[in-house]
Amino acid sequence: MSASNFVTSAVIQHLYIHVPFCAHLCPYCGFFKTRNVPAETRGFVPALLAELRWARANFDVRPLTVYFGGGTPTALSVSQLEELFAGWPWPLTAREFTVEANPLTVSARKAAVLRAAGVNRVSLGAQAFDAASLRLLGRRHDADGVRATVAVLRAAGFDNLNLDLMYALPGQTFAQWASSLSAAVALAPEHLSAYNLSYEEDTEFFRRFIVSGGGADTDREREFFLRTTAHLARHGYAQYEISNFARAGRESAHNRAYWRGEDYLGCGPGACSTVGLQRWQNLADNRRYIEALTVTGAPPRDIEPLTVKMKTAEKIMLGLRTREGVPLTLLTDQPDALENLIREGLLTVSGDRAALTLAGRLVTDSVAELLMG
């Protein structure tokens, strides 16, 4: 298919870059990633730049938000990052420019390179602050490593930091989790993401989960969730999505765009994109991704057509996870379900939107199913 087949007149304001390398592979992680050994990383940056040029030639991209995820973007070396920013085909002026980082891979020099390139938000994978939880998760850093990395980032001028945390780990006590939350809050990040541990297929954790009988303890997970929401609310972090909490005005604009169902382009091996009624995923294979871009200048990808119905269902599902909720115009097909859910205290309507109550947030998926018909 020629490049011109993909040209769209819609403006794409959100760009995701997948950097599929990590210094160490965590046993619970289901993202596409490999070790950051030279055999894997060689040729990655030139190939990614070729994909960015392909994107610029085929779409009207004006990045308002940029998000480098992975993997661990900071697993790239300083010179690889410099090469990437030097070849970046748009002005490096995104309003929100986030880079995910791992405590083991941020140096003062790397932080300065990111800052100079216009990165203004860093999302740090802390996960926990107690030694037992970190050991269980197979993380190589400790609590002091997180604190030291936050200090490096603050010294480099970052005033917008997120910390990622995980709860409902096997054997984790509420007291351990409360101490992790307190340690995270003590670092005064502008944003916190707290995820219920999920068992992703093809991970070591999933195998252990199956071997152990594989049943989720929903009462326990619910208790973790409620304690998290209450703890963070007490410290000034408002829950604006099921797993995301922010100081006023520090919500992630990039993630909000996903939850609103806006178009976005994803570049890099394994990255997903959604533009209009097309969704595609780049091949999750570093070698073949690099080869395809070197030979053809276009990313190898699987394209899936979407329908308006599919997109509406997705918008309902994602919107329900957020504080702002779902426009009522998307819910007109299920008036009875809407009325029942309001009567049961699971949903509340304000203006022209419907949003989950706290009780509703405990059963988000069931509510979404009812509203999607």
Binding residues vs ligand SF4 (CB under 6 A)? 22, 25-26, 29, 31, 33, 70-72, 102, 125
Token duo for residue 319: 């919107």
Closest to ligand SF4 by CB, 72 or 286: 72
Between 37 and 92, CB nearer to ligand SF4:
37
Work out how close the CB of 250 gets to ligand SF4 at its nearest, in angstroms, rounded to a whole number.
22
**Rounded to the nearest whole angstrom, what is the least distance from the CB of residue 96 to ligand SF4 in the complex?**
21
Of residues 71 and 189, the one with the C-beta less far from ligand SF4:
71
Distance (Å, whole) CA 134 – CA 111: 24
Identity of the residue numbered 35:
R
Q: Under a CB-based contact definition with an 8 Å cutoff, are residues 184 and 192 in contact?
A: yes
* β partners of residue 127: 165
Closest distance to ligand SF4 from the beta carbon of 107 (Å): 17
Based on CB atoms, which residue is closest to ligand SF4, 14 or 139? 139
**What torsion do the CA atoms of 34, 36, 39, 40 make, to the nearest 10 degrees?**
40
CB of 68 to ligand SF4, least distance (A): 12
| Comparison of 125 and 299: residue with beta carbon closer to ligand SF4 | 125
66 contact partners, CB below 8 Å, separation of at least 6: 14, 15, 16, 17, 94, 96, 97, 98, 254
Q: Are strands 238-241 and 191-196 parallel, antiparallel or unpaired?
A: unpaired
Q: Cβ of residue 224: shortest distance to ligand SF4, in angstroms?
A: 19
Give phi and psi for 156, each to the nearest 5. -80, -5
Q: Which is nearer to ligand SF4, 58 or 72 (CB)?
A: 72
CB of 313 to ligand SF4, least distance (A): 28
359 Cα distance to chain centroid: 25
End-to-end CA distance of the chain: 37
Cis check for the bond before 266: say yes or no (omega within 30 of 0). no
In Å, what is the CA distance from 83 to each residue of 44, 47, 61, 66?
Answer: 11, 12, 21, 17
User: Minimal distance in Å, beta carbon 43 to ligand SF4?
Assistant: 20
Minimum CB–partner distance for residue 244 and ligand SF4 (Å) = 17
Rounded Cα distance between 202 and 76, Å, is 25
* Complex with ligand SF4: residue 18 or 121, whichever CB lies closer: 18
Residue 322 DSSP symbol: B
The nearer residue to ligand SF4, 102 or 273, going by C-beta atoms, is: 102
In the complex, the smallest distance separating the C-beta of residue 243 from ligand SF4, rounded to whole angstroms, is 15
Nearer to ligand SF4 among residue 72 and residue 180 (C-beta): 72
Select the residue whose beta carbon is closest to ligand SF4 and give its number. Answer: 29
Q: What are the DSSP E strand ranges found in the chain? A: 11-19, 21-22, 34-35, 60-70, 96-101, 121-127, 161-167, 191-196, 238-241, 244-246, 265-267, 272-275, 278-282, 301-305, 326-327, 347-350, 353-356
